[in-house]
Amino acid sequence: MFGKKFWATLLVVGSLIAPNAAHAEIQTYTGVGEYVMGERDTLETAKQAAKDKALRNALERAGVLIQSRSRTEDSELVEDVITSQTGAVLQVVEVVYEREDLLIRATVKVDIDAEDLNRRLEAAVKPTADKISLSNQKLDEATQLWHDGQDDAALKLLSEAATLNPNNAEIFLKRAIICVSNGKFAQAADDANKVLQLKPNHSMALWIRGAAALTAGDNSAALADLNAAIDSDPLNKHAYYFRGIYFKTVGDKKRARADFLKAKELGYTGSVGDKFLEANP
């Protein structure tokens, strides 16, 4: 009835969390399953088969697709993984059986902790060794292209590498840096967020997101990220430089000068900082 593979990116749909109930985690679902007894079936095996179908039906209603027997392939989830994770959070509330000659019907009610299930299934989606290896290869090639000044080609390879292994923060960081150097601050901020999801308080990701916020005119968010970047790494020359731009923007010449000088001391200069220091010796 169902395909053998499970979509790794669609594990639990939004219907698991009830609308207007932000704190509701436990949801109850009903499923019905039928099984026609064969010559070799006992009543107990038939009831179990009907119950299994009813559970699958209940899970489908909850937005979880359980597949028929299969093996794990690439980073996709199949029945053995899904059922093992679902079993940890699923509770059968009620099972009612009906019989019509050889037909056994089971109706089950189950409780599912949607948030916990999402967390467990997402953790189970891991790239294979082959995908990780290919992703790393593309990352190395992209780095070389970037050094050679071929930014567009590098960005293309980094996107391919991210698809193969979305758990590698270095991929998103390099893509963010290339985007910043090309003035693509919105895209850089998106990748910086991905880095911070994988590695909270990452100094480079924080300054990139702060720089993007500064460019977008969100000064308060910019200052918060740039301060956090410096707190995380007091030698982050980029964060000092862009914080200098922030202070220049808000008219705080003293702090702007101090940050531009600190960035220069650490080895980072730019036209905005140079012109400011010339005008404010």
Q: Which long-range contacts (CB under 8 A, 24 or more apart) does 69-74 make?
A: 70/4, 70/5, 73/5, 74/127, 74/128, 74/131
**Look-up: residue for tokens 């704190």?**
23
Q: What are phi and psi of 111, to 5 degrees?
A: -105, 135
CATH number of 14-124: 3.30.1660
Residue 250 reports pLDDT greater than 80: yes
Each domain of the chain, given as residue ranges in start order, spans 14-124, 168-279
This prediction has a pTM of 0.57
Residue 124 reports pLDDT greater than 80: no
The candidate with the shortest Cα–Cα distance to 239, out of 256, 226, 228, 250, is: 226
Most confident segment among 39-48, 63-72, 246-255: 246-255
- Residues whose CB is less than 8 angstroms from the CB of residue 223 and which lie 6 or more positions away in sequence, other chains included: 210, 243, 246
Q: Do the bridges between strand 103-113 and strand 90-100 make them parallel or antiparallel, or are there none, so unpaired?
A: antiparallel
Residue 109 reports pLDDT greater than 70: yes
255 versus 16: the higher-pLDDT residue is: 255
Taking only the tens place, the pLDDT of each residue in 178-235 is 999 999 999 999 999 999 988 989 999 999 999 999 999 999 999 999 999 999 999 9
What is 168-279's CATH number, 1.25.40.10, 3.40.50.720, 1.10.287.3510, 1.10.8.60?
Answer: 1.25.40.10
- State the first-to-last Cα distance of the chain, in angstroms, to the nearest integer: 76
Residue 242 reports pLDDT greater than 70: yes
